Structure 1
């Protein structure tokens, strides 16, 4: 029995010595997939909401008192400048024109008679057949008669002008809106009764605004040379309509306000678009994509490579020796699942895009290009 216990102890010691002689192998470094940063020219696109506005708006108002006899256009139709829209009862104004015309004829006759008197008196006063005082009185009558003629001519012109105002015409080409008065309505020149509104829709404006912080950042980038921006009239703009479709005609910026609205902290910006099909209507909501230049040395990186925290954005870089390092970056716009990186990267940086959850800064990793399949991935079937 004692021999069996000793043999078991010897066997235990042999097994123990064989296990403790070599440490277990360490796990392999985690695998990460990377993309290599490469500077390229990137368009600077800003997307903002906007509202459509007619390029010209004219309020058609009454310029004489009277009763509206007829409406001579179809509401909502296109009208031409000079086209008659409303007819106000003209009879009173025609009578006034006739009365002033008669007065003018009488005054012209008086002036003609006074002129003949002066012509006769000129010879008589030289011969001293009449006194100088009589000649001066004849000259005064002539000047008075001529002044009456001039005054009456002005009154006749005014009367004819008021008569022309009874035919209310369109001041501009455009689309006439709903009539604000009906036949039989009394309109007034003193209160400038609104009859209708005309809006010119081709071309058309889109108004939007940019924050002062955004404009300041743009100016700083332009000064630093990291952003190249064309002239204002050459900045292209495209529109996204409410249904998500793209407006078929491209526009351009034509106005940038140089002051900041104190209430909103924004600057007014306006773009002009062709609108031949009248797809855009005043008051319509759109989204404007402003193509404000390009960055000659920007970087595109996949959205999943960016770590967003309350303190900012960062990426993981594979540094020398295949170790992980965190790098803070400044982001631009996000487009198509990718971020534009404005600052923090340089050419050749290896950016971790897959395997971020498995590593920490300082850890050693095994690097796989994003174009290569990961370890253990199924190979494509051969045909």
Structure 2
């Protein structure tokens, strides 16, 4: 009797478990959905750029000689007119002294020629000397005058060359590492001619290349009065991914397209008041390329890709799931722009995609998608 009772209890428990499992299996899976809406978006594109100082002035020695003095700290800020280098001036001083002697000799000859002309001229008026003697005196006077001018020019040139021995900063800026040390012969190949570089970095030049298509798109955009990206300034993205706080603008587009690479050189200016960015750095120039007033956005997490085809799981008013093929445009932050296949107000699954099957019902919970994109 007890065996019959135990068998009955076991059958009852087994039936109850099957009933609960069946109920659980028939319950629609829970998913989270987001509602699609349209927004005005500005599409951006990055271009790899090279940073230069607003001025990058090479410091050259114009005279050859032994470098006697370096008057600055490498890597420091220098002001226009500050002494940077001194080249041994001894040979230049000798040239200057020789030029002074030549000028003095020419002036003595000039004085003699003037004296001779003043003496001969009145004699020629009374025919005491021949006209030939007068002409010779006048010619000697003119020759002496020209010799003085030549000697003065030679003296000025010698003074200029002596001044070149003292090399001064041509602009305000940061000076780099010296290419020669005290005691080295400079100014004549193979010895250093360019001793250093001074860069003005309160503002920066950033050069980058754009393709022919990008260039044409920009030109067409500039002709459009409705495109709001025309007034959007450029951004500079540094190598660590940070966006430089100061905005820039294009100030130069090259005259020609490189027929090998199919690109054109563009230059932009960025203020750099803190002197954070230095010449030689690589950075990305981020430019607004298109403004879309009513873009339909879908979170990238909602998209399934199968062999290059894109799908989203849409939930209708009856909580049924439909796998919808869609056409995507450009990505925007952590969204895609939908070109075809979905409409504003559609609800698509963002969480629980693995539990949803096309044609089945789900328990949909509406949620708000929070973008992880950090505003610049």
TM over 0.5: yes
Tell me the alpha carbon deviations over residues 140-166 of structure 1, each in whole angstroms, 9 at most, x when there is no partner: 111111111111111101100111111
Q: Equivalent residues in 2 for 1:320-359 (5 A)? A: 326=324, 328-335=326-333, 337-341=334-338, 343-344=339-340, 348=344, 350=346, 352-354=348-350, 358=356
Mind listing any 5+ residue stretches in structure 2 that lack a counterpart?
1-25, 369-376
1:196 lines up with 2:200 in the alignment: no
Asked whether the equivalents of residues 75 and 175 of structure 2 are also in contact (C-alpha less than 8 Å), the reply is yes
Mind listing any 5+ residue stretches in structure 1 that lack a counterpart?
1-25, 373-383
> Which residue in the other structure is 1:3 paired with?
none
Asked whether the equivalents of residues 307 and 315 of structure 1 are also in contact (C-alpha less than 8 Å), the reply is yes
Q: Which moved more, 1:184-193 or 1:323-332?
A: 323-332
> Which residue in the other structure is 2:251 paired with?
254
After superposition, the Cα gap between the structure-2 partners of 1:312 and 1:126, relative to the gap in structure 1 and judged at 3 Å, is farther
1:268 lines up with 2:265 in the alignment: yes
Shift of 1:315: 5.2
1:107 lines up with 2:106 in the alignment: yes
Asked whether the equivalents of residues 35 and 353 of structure 1 are also in contact (C-alpha less than 8 Å), the reply is no
Counterpart Cα distance in 2 of 1:153 and 1:178: 39
> Which residue in the other structure is 1:58 paired with?
57
Counterpart Cα distance in 2 of 1:258 and 1:339: 36
> Which residue in the other structure is 1:88 paired with?
87
Q: Secondary structure at the match of 2:128?
A: coil
> Which residue in the other structure is 1:176 paired with?
175
Asked whether the equivalents of residues 248 and 271 of structure 2 are also in contact (C-alpha less than 8 Å), the reply is yes
TM-score w.r.t. structure 1 length? 0.73
After superposition, the Cα gap between the structure-2 partners of 1:46 and 1:226, relative to the gap in structure 1 and judged at 3 Å, is farther
Tell me the alpha carbon deviations over residues 7-61 of structure 1, each in whole angstroms, 9 at most, x when there is no partner: xxxxxxxxxxxxxxxxxxx999x999452432x3212222344332222222222
Q: Secondary structure at the match of 1:199?
A: strand
> Which residue in the other structure is 2:22 paired with?
none
After superposition, the Cα gap between the structure-2 partners of 1:148 and 1:58, relative to the gap in structure 1 and judged at 3 Å, is same
Counterpart Cα distance in 2 of 1:72 and 1:272: 32
Moved over 6 A (4+): 220-226, 316-323, 364-369
Shift of 1:269: 3.2
RMSD value, Cα: 3.8
